[in-house]
A = this chain, B = another copy of it.
Amino acid sequence: MIQFSINRTLFIQALNATKRAISSKNAIPILSTIKIDVSPSDITLTGSNGQISIENTIPVSNDNAGLLITSPGSILLEANFFINIISSLPDVSLEFKEIEQHQVVLTSGKSEITLKGKDVEQYPRLQEVSTENPLVLKTKLLKSIIAETAFAASLQESRPILTGVHIVLSNHKDFKAVATDSHRMSQRVITLDNTSTDFDVVIPSKSLREFATVFTDDIETVEVFFSSSQILFRSDHISFYTRLLEGNYPDTDRLLMTDFETEVVFNTQSLRHAMERAFLISNATQNGTVKLEIAQHQISAHVNSPEVGKVNEDLDIVSQSGSDLTISFNPTYLIESLKAIKSETVKIHFLSPVRPFTLTPGDDEESFIQLITPVRTN
């Protein structure tokens, strides 16, 4: 039966990172527990919601853990409840001791708390992913790719495949991530330094956002492994599993146009703030849009929501070229698109009032491109 002592602060951090995979309202009640596996050399915490699973390992070799393992074993404990209890204990360290009938006695300072646990046999087996030939990526790069694409995935389950981000490796080094909800699209491509086996997967955007929270910036690189239905992101102490989406992702390459009639370069922040004002008014009308009028020496934004009011605003630009154009669209898409662009300026290419327009960062021509579909108005 389990017995160990550990630094409480470090244990709380590991528990909280693992808890991100655990939903207290899961349809499978046993998934509201956290699994604690104690071996002679480490403790592994496991949490899962059926879609994502997180394994967090604390080795005895971690000096900050103050981990002394007297006896190994495995047990399940109600995750939220257990973490609240551990967080409330008074001392810097804590003693964890399993007694009869899956009970656990926690001792810290003068406080002694006994909790009921569950037999570890009740926990579902997480699917295994073979850990050979990893694709190694810088965590920071992977997180920035997620930030640039995941927001453009659909939130609606009517076409489940569109709730994911399509990630493809071709020619062993051409990495592409793309997401679309059929109104807008965001695509990031990079060329990898190291080559790897080609793959083509669709990862739920929600899982990717969760990954970005769990893998903090101090984790330099992440190893990526695939099975037919799962993907595993792994660092030294954290393994993050997520299910893949099944089905064929639509061909997004055909949407990318190369020709354009009008080019305008805006200051990213100033365009975003103008669109946020426009949104406040357009949002008062169902399917409200903003109208962008591009004429020589004068670019302006207009919203008219008969119930609440209207906006008229001259926009500052960096440069413009090509034909005059008037185009209407949902300002939300442009706001979210501009939030994903880190460069000071943004280049927008228009072809016609009824064709999608593209956005690229002012400092980066090809590797990051977004596309927004206009709304036809008369």
Contact = CB atoms under 8 A, between A and B. Distances in A.
Interface of A: 78, 81, 84-85, 88-90, 103, 110-116, 270, 273-274, 276-277, 280-281, 284, 307-316
A367 to B, nearest CB: 31
B309 A277 contact: no
A254 B69 CA distance: 58
Copies of this chain held together in the complex: 2
A348 B280 CA distance: 55
A314 B116 contact: no
Contact of A112 (B84, B313, B316): B313
B115 A309 contact: yes
A274 B81 CA distance: 16
B280 A84 contact: yes
A111 to B, nearest CB: 4
B114 A310 contact: yes
B115 A277 contact: no
Contacts of A111: 274, 277, 311, 313
Given A78-B308, A81-B308, A114-B311, 5 more contacts: A85-B280, A111-B311, A111-B313, A113-B310, A116-B309
A309 B276 contact: no
A122 to B, nearest CB: 17
A268 to B, nearest CB: 15
A187 B168 CA distance: 68
Contacts of A114: 309-312
A88 B312 contact: no
A314 B277 contact: no
A88 B309 contact: no
